[in-house]
Amino acid sequence: MQRIYLDNAATTPLDSEVKQAMEPYFGDTYGNPNSLHWFGQQARAAVDRARETIASAIGARFREVIFTGSATEANNLAIRGAIMHARETFNKIADGRPMKVIVSTIEHDSILAAVRDLEKEGVEVVRIPVDEHGFVDVQKLEAALDERTVLVSIMYANNEIGSIQPIKEIANILKKFREREHALPYYPLLHTDAVQAFQFLDCTVDELGVDLMTLSAHKIYGPKGIGALYARTMNTVMHAKDDRVHMIRPRVSGGGQEFGMRSGTENVAAIAGFAKAVELAGTYRANESKRLAELRERLWRRIKDFYPIADRNGFSADGILNQIPDPESSSGRHDYMSVQDDKEKGRDEMGQSLPNILNVYFPGQKGGDLLIALDMRGIAVSSGSACAAFSAKPSHVLMALGFDDARAGGSLRFSFGRHTTQADIDGAVEALRAVLRA
């Protein structure tokens, strides 16, 4: 039986060039990168090269890239680390009132779980709603800001429905707020989870205006078990003018690796693979975005042909492709061709979704049953986030869009990657047709 993998938002296969980049560090180059001898310095050089590659790709300083064991760890370091830094820096905030963190209702579980824990510690958490397409209510976010706000965390692109948030707009709102006299110096910080976005969108940190950004290797054809947090360094009134400091505190104590932000011996092989995956992502970005968006729309049209009551979760623009990177763009960056209908509706940047994700509601069906039936026919899809695959609860993302349990539980996510072909789409369609007729 031929198997077709349409779950690339959960993880991607290891690229052969990434594997090749990792192999030396499973063999002769095995030194501890923190050792002073030749073996250790060979490993240290590999870590430094990888850090420089990733820093260059996102426009960051060398010291601003912190390697972690996963994106989940990076998210926790951003959220908890920012609160710890603020607590240590400011003894009193707004007459002793609690610090505030702002997130959206469709963040990854690692963000939502972290802020739930912070609530138990006395931090106020404001959860900003999204509309039926999965776009955050920017006006409500702005209204929630006050002098106690330490951190705003909004994911760049959603892992279940693909909605892309207006991070630049949010950054500008925070910049204006910081300029007010009553705001804490340097706060609120802006964090974005860019795990799903990096393949397709501009993740240049100064362009986005973010202070913290999470990345993951295994979502971009790199190895599992390695993530990174971009953490902006700043000059503060408490330090010398030329002494830039991180605005977070570590969550793991020990030998002081990763500039004191994440102790533990570095995973040299995984770090080398991560850097190669980042390098390759830049070469694939524009052409793959257009190709995958076309495959996504092909699948959607075919589903509607034989199951017309199916509905699409998240943003859609029937009859047109969502804004797709132009491969002919002279900049080589992540420019998007405009969709006039969306601009007339005032969506502009918000009127976008990732080209590789299609989330579909099948009325009268149970997503879990469909998933198993498709798997028995060789088709791998998901009913939501892989991190919540064993939970009996319906998707919190779809529930946040205002859908009921039946819709949230009757939906499937199809996500495409570099190895997805038109034949794969057609094979998935035939399997779906057979399952829905059964």
- Residues 6 or more apart whose CB falls under 8 angstroms from that of 424 comprise 4, 5, 6
Per the listing, tokens 């830049």 go with 282
Q: Identify whether 203 is a catalytic site residue.
A: no
Catalytic one of 143, 337, 372, 387: 387
Taking alpha carbons only, the member of 329, 353, 328 closest to residue 339 is 353
The two tokens of residue 336 are 């998007």
Catalytic residues: 387
